[in-house]
Amino acid sequence: MEILDFGISDYGEVLLLQKNFFENLVKDKKEGREGSEYLLLGEHLPVITLGRRAKEENVLISKNLLKEKEIEVFHIGRGGDVTYHCRGQLIVYPILDLNRYKLGVKDYVYILEESIIRLIAKYKINGERVEGATGVWIGKGTSNERKICALGIKCSRYCSMHGIALNVNPDLSGFSMINPCGFQDKGVTSLEKELNSIGPESVLPDMKKIKKDFTEIFLSLLQNKL
């Protein structure tokens, strides 16, 4: 697997890169070849994306205002509803052949979530799953249930693309432009915000360390398949 850091990049450029890698992997698999796998990591400039079953009304501001703010909107083939990306999020797009790891789609989603749960646990943050809602959440079952990591993937012939977005230290006000993941009654949070609530002794790691820690955890879980 090749690990590529795309830095801080325009969403459209990285989407094209993903599609190219994904389509090549699917083609190679169809033709009986072992294609190349990739792990793409980085951050995006502000953008709103809508998944296959997303509802337009979950984008809460007008097209004109989005244009003024220079925020593009993409309709893409992943699962999930609407989400917002910006600097300060760790974006991860694994391009994988799940059959190589003897994984079903649900098992793969579990590994993505588990990678984030274990990652933020290193920084003393308790992340959990919420039934009926993909991703990783804080304050499960409370009136302040809030999402720290969004997840949405696409699979064809058990090859995957798209992935996860962990809120590290983004400007969370951007999420007011949408109903995140289609929810109107749940909040969003970030690693920075949660660490600040613990106290001054909790220091936010830099993005380079977070990428390194995530990569080690994810690859270990993938190889061990839980």
| Residues with active-site annotation | 181
The neighbour count for residue 77, using CB atoms within 10 Å, is 16
Geometric angle at alpha carbon 209, from 97 and 2, rounded to 5°: 25
- Give residue 22's identity as a one-letter amino acid code: F
Q: Would you put residue 194 in left (φ > 0), alpha (ψ -120 to 50) or beta?
A: alpha
The neighbour count for residue 3, using CB atoms within 10 Å, is 11
CA 115, CA 176: separation in Å to the nearest integer? 27
Residues 6+ apart with CB under 8 A from 97: 25, 29, 35, 37, 158, 159
